[in-house]
C-alpha cells in the first residue's frame, strides 16, 4: 500500500503545520501553558516543534510540485550535521519513502545538505547495492534495490 503511506506522510506534515499555526496564532500562550498540551493526543508532535519552525512558519501547507511528501524543515536542518553512514541512511529512507524512482533534485529537497554530499552518498549507496542508478545528468533516477530493515 505505497499510496496509503504517502497519504499518511502528507497528513502528518499537515498536522504538524496546523499545530505550528495554532501556536503562532496565540502569542499570549506561555511555554508553561503549552507544556500542559504535551500530555494530549498531539503531545509527541508538539514536543518536536522547534522555535525555528515557529519563527519561519508561513501558515500554509506547501505540497511540493513533484508529488512527493511535504518537505520537513527540521529534517533538512538535521541533515546538515549528519555524516557518512548516518547521512546515507537519511538518503536511503527518502528513496524508500518515495516508493519508486526519484531524481537527485527530489532527494536534495527532502534530505538537504550540499550537492556534493548527496552525490557522494548516492555513489556509496549504489556501490553497496542498496540503490540502483539509471540515466545520466538531469535524467538520472535512483531507486531502492531492497527494503532494508531500520
Number of H helices, E strands in the chain: 8, 2
Residue 71 DSSP one-character state: P
Distance between CA atoms of residues 90 and 86, nearest Å: 6
pTM above 0.85, yes or no: no
73-144 is classed CATH 3.20.20.140: no
Q: What is the pLDDT along the chain (150 residues), one digit of tens a residue?
A: 445 566 777 778 788 888 888 888 788 888 888 888 888 888 898 888 888 888 876 655 555 667 666 677 777 778 888 999 999 999 999 998 887 899 988 898 889 888 899 999 999 999 999 999 999 888 899 999 875 444
Q: Where are the chain's structural domains?
A: 2-56, 73-144
Amino acid at each position: 500500500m505505497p499510496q496509503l503511506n504517502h497519504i499518511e506522510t502528507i497528513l502528518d506534515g499537515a498536522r504538524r503545520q496546523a499545530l505550528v499555526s495554532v501556536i503562532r496564532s496565540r502569542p499570549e500562550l506561555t511555554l508553561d501553558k503549552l507544556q500542559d498540551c504535551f500530555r494530549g493526543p498531539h503531545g509527541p508532535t508538539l514536543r518536536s516543534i522547534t522555535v525555528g519552525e515557529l519563527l519561519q512558519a508561513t501558515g500554509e501547507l506547501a505540497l511540493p510540485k513533484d508529488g512527493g511528501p511535504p518537505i520537513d524543515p527540521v529534517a533538512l536542518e538535521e541533515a546538515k550535521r549528519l555524516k557518512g553512514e548516518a547521512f546515507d541512511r537519511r538518503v536511503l529512507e527518502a528513496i524508500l519513502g518515495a516508493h519508486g524512482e526519484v531524481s537527485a533534485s527530489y532527494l536534495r529537497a527532502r534530505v538537504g545538505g550540499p550537492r556534493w554530499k548527496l552525490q557522494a552518498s548516492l555513489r556509496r549507496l549504489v556501490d553497496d547495492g542498496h540503490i540502483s542508478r539509471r540515466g545520466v545528468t538531469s535524467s538520472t533516477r535512483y531507486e531502492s534495490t531492497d527494503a532494508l530493515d531500520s
